[in-house]
């Protein structure tokens, strides 16, 4: 006969709190000696191929105030549309580009910054080309589960019109929430957690 287990109970739900930064970006928190540099802090070097861009943005709450304790990770293809991954079978990705980055938002301004390259187009599961895009994952105090979204480039109109993911979005008026605006140094992308301009998030 099975016995009831009384000592193992579900723990309370926890938000990200400060522990995400302590564990993921210890140097940013002033904890030295764990890593020479925080993982994901640098995506490129002097040999990286492609157009260099500076990606900036904020994670904004329902009243459009920037979260100052957010942590953002990005994944993307290289300039030729290849991923730095063992599962990439279409060719060899740029060895001087990591394809993955992690940055905390500035504790005063709430801005996050990535030095990266503009990604090439990658095929969808049916072979159609997707528009250049970057996948983002966002955590912060008050967010129980990390949020996933995509960033597209507003100046890639033709590719965006053809993109199989964007074409599946029923409410066309919300597509601009996925568009990064061109800046002199690269692109700017704000992530709205709530409100009329709430960013589209993906269940992945």
Query: What's the rounded mean pLDDT across residues 163-169?
Result: 96
Residue 1 domain flag: no
Q: Is 7 within the bounds of a domain?
A: no
Query: Rounded to the nearest 5 degrees, what angle is found at the Cα of 192, between the Cα atoms of 186 and 198?
Result: 120
**Domain annotation covers residue 116:** yes
Query: Is 39 among the domain residues?
Result: yes
Residue 10 placed within a domain: no
User: Does residue 179 or residue 141 have the better pLDDT?
Assistant: 179
The C-alpha atoms of residue 38 and residue 80 are separated, in whole angstroms, by 27
* Average pLDDT of span 67-87: 95
Is the pLDDT at 25 greater than 70? The verdict is yes
Whose tokens are 């925080």? That residue is: 38
Tens-place pLDDT, residues 167-177: 999 999 999 99
Give domain status of residue 6, yes or no. no
Q: What is the pTM of this model?
A: 0.89
Name, in order, each residue with C-beta under 8 angstroms of 163's C-beta and a sequence gap of 6 or more.
Answer: 130, 131, 133, 152
pLDDT band at 15 (very low <50, low <70, confident <90, very high): low
pLDDT value for 61 = 93
Let me know if residue 8 belongs to a domain.
no
Q: Range of 85's domain?
A: 19-192
So what's the pLDDT on residue 141?
78
Task: For the chain, give the mean pLDDT.
Answer: 91
d(CA 37, CA 43): 12
Token pair for 140: 């912060």
Please state the domain count of the chain: 1
Write the pLDDT tens digit of every residue in 92-140: 999 999 999 999 999 999 999 999 999 999 999 999 999 999 999 999 8
Residue 2 falls within a domain, yes or no? no
Whether 14 shows a pLDDT value over 60: the answer reads no
Question: What's 42's domain CATH number?
Answer: 2.60.130.10
């Amino acid at each position: 006969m099975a016995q009831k287990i009384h000592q193992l109970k579900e723990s309370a739900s926890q938000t990200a709190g400060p522990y995400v930064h302590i564990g993921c970006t210890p140097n940013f928190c002033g904890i030295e000696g764990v890593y020479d540099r925080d993982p994901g802090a640098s995506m490129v070097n002097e040999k990286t191929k492609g157009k260099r861009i500076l990606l900036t943005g904020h994670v904004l709450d329902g009243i459009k105030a920037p979260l100052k304790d957010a942590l953002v990770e990005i994944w993307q293809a290289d300039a030729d549309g290849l991923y730095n991954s063992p599962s990439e079978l279409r060719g060899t990705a740029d060895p001087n580009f990591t394809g993955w980055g992690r940055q905390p938002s500035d504790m005063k301004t709430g801005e996050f910054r990535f030095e990266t390259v503009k990604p090439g187009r990658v095929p969808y599961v049916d072979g159609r080309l997707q528009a250049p895009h970057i996948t983002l994952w966002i955590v912060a105090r008050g967010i129980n589960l990390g949020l996933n979204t995509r960033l597209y480039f507003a100046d890639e109109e033709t590719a965006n019109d053809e993109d199989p993911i964007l074409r599946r979005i029923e409410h066309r008026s919300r597509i601009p929430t996925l568009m990064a605006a061109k800046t002199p140094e690269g692109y700017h992308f704000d992530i709205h957690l709530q409100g009329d301009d709430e960013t589209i998030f993906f269940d992945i």
